[in-house]
Amino acid sequence: MTPATLATQSLSAFPDLSQAPTNQQLLPLTAETNAQGHLEVGGCDLVELVAQFGSPLYVLDEETFRRACRDYVQGLHDHYPGESLVLYASKAWNCLATCALASRAGLGIDVASGGELYTALMAGANPETIYFHGNNKSLQELAQALEMGCTVVADNWLELTRLAELAAHQSPDQPKPRVMLRLTPGIECHTHDYIRTGQLDSKFGFDPQALPDLFTFALEHPQIDWVGVHAHIGSQIFELQPHQDLANTLAAWFSKAARLGLNFQEFNVGGGLGMRYVEADNPPSIRQWTKWVANSVIQACRSENIPLPKLICEPGRSIAGPSTVTAYTIGTRKDIPGIRTYIAVDGGMSDNPRPITYQAQYTAVLGNRILETPDTTVTVAGKHCESGDILLKDIQLPNPQPGDTLVVFGTGAYNYSMASNYNRLTRPAAVLVKEGNATVILKRETYADLLRQDVLPSGLA
């Protein structure tokens, strides 16, 4: 099946789009083919968007992003009788618009740096639903998080001692700092090595062997509100079983804490649900995942004989990823007879570093010739001075030519957020599309932006 027919078929399988599971689709929910044979997203013709805003261009479909948020919130609500909270793991794509979309949909925000925190706050997120992660938060970041009333997910002893010091200097009328403990659960899952975090050999979180000392420390520091425990097993996970194993592990920690007199209330199971990048990918839907996780936590708490805690999860990729496509303009084409045909686009590893970093695969079509039969095998290269700057290897397109619009699907997560200015390429613009309207949410960088931080030393010989 070709990407174009697959894309169309996967959409037509859900004629009622209100039921479509976003992370199982290659394309955003609103994708359509128009009378010109062009691909549309959010009612906007991608060829026209490129004409108006230039390329490369990230195109974020508001409907798909919101649907994914709703599916998480509703999924936990339907299957978990206790309190629950979904956090948007903003590392997937942290900018004002994504943070605002997530918080308007009722999600809290997971941030992993002072910069992500600043952006979330400026987007209007409620600080009380912001959770601050990271394996090496600075003193300044910790102080900033506490001052704003965010929850800190403590990762190591240095942080705990700093948090205790900060808490000791707070005035008695200030609310107690809210701190959650992150542990490495020792759970392995099948994903790329760089995005696995649950195994014991990880830079993140406390080793479970530290539990007795951690609990003693917590009991000795009542000036901190010890809200609960957190663990995250990795990203782009298609299996459900590891999440059940995680629920059992977290519940066991919870009941240990309860036996020692610590009153934990929150149970944060991290994120990690995968999405479909290529036809062969088959992730569970958000609804299946939330049901599984909710039931796992309920069962685990039942067997540990503890009351249901507040259940928190923090998905990133499965919310942002499927909502977005990147439109490029094809430039050069190089045919090496008997070997390979390369086409080059006007972006590459600077706007999507995932293929070169994780050998990630994507699906693409020609957005200006969506109905034509893909009959040519090509490799899509970026424009960077680096042989490994290949975005898609050996894909089928309808004999692509310079000037065609190449549209790569599923680029909303870990693309813009990991983008760079390698070779001094300017970072692309992003538009939010809805019902035929496109709004710029990230301006295209200019050459002047590239020099914003540069200082030419005076007096150079």
Applying CB under 6 A, the residues found at the interface with ligand LLP are 89, 91-92, 110, 133, 195, 197, 232, 235-236, 270-273, 314-318, 354, 358, 414
Measured distance CA(418)–CA(92) in Å, rounded = 9
Rounded least distance, CB 31 to ligand LLP, Å: 22
Rounded least distance, CB 346 to ligand LLP, Å: 22
Rounded least distance, CB 319 to ligand LLP, Å: 8
* 8 A C-beta contact, residue 355 and residue 277: no
DSSP for 52-116, please give it: HH-SSEEEEEHHHHHHHHHHHHHHHHHH-SS-EEEEEEGGGS-SHHHHHHHHHTT-EEEE-SHHH
**Closer to ligand LLP at the Cβ: 71 or 110?**
110
Decide: helix, strand or coil at residue 78.
Answer: helix
CB contact set of 226 (below 8 Å; sequence gap of 6+):
179, 180, 181, 218, 262, 263, 264
Decide: helix, strand or coil at residue 392.
Answer: strand
Rounded least distance, CB 253 to ligand LLP, Å: 16
Q: Is 301 a catalytic residue?
A: no
* 8 A C-beta contact, residue 324 and residue 73: no
Q: Which two tokens stand for residue 350?
A: 């600077």
Q: Verify cis geometry, omega within 30 degrees of 0, for the bond prior to 428.
A: no
**Closer to ligand LLP at the Cβ: 163 or 231?**
231
**Closer to ligand LLP at the Cβ: 75 or 316?**
316
Decide: helix, strand or coil at residue 12.
Answer: helix
Measured distance CA(421)–CA(219) in Å, rounded = 48
Q: Which residues are catalytic, by number?
A: 385
